[in-house]
Amino acid sequence: MEPLEVLRHVWAFAAAESCGACSPCRVGSRRGLEQAMTGEPPGDAYARMLRVMSEASLCAFGRRLPPAVRSLARAYGDRLRGWGG
């Protein structure tokens, strides 16, 4: 499985499993999936979204998604450059 496919899977899981109780996780997980599906390198808005998710989500699910995404970006280096926020 390619790194971008793994990233898409993480975002798809997040979008499907978000309980929807808070906007940072509900909206952020869907936007993360949309961004990953385009395949285009993310910009500053993506980094801000990850920061808002990690700081403002009501539960650990939403707060822990950004570190997981950043970890994937670190593990895959140039193959996911920019995706770590």
Cα 9 to Cα 43: distance, rounded to the nearest angstrom: 20
What does each C-alpha distance from 39 to 21, 59, 63 come to in angstroms?
28, 28, 24
Per-residue pLDDT tens digits for 39-54:
888 889 999 999 999 9
Read off the pLDDT of residues 32-85 as tens digits, 9 standing for 90 and up: 999 999 988 888 999 999 999 999 999 999 999 999 999 998 999 888 877 877
User: Which sequence spans correspond to the domains of the chain?
Assistant: 3-80
Taking the C-alpha atoms of residue 5 and residue 62, their distance in angstroms, rounded to an integer, is 20
> SS3 helix, strand, coil % of the chain, rounded to 5?
75, 0, 25
CATH topology (fold) of 3-80: de novo design (two linked rop proteins) (1.20.1440)
The pLDDT of 13-27, averaged and rounded, is 96
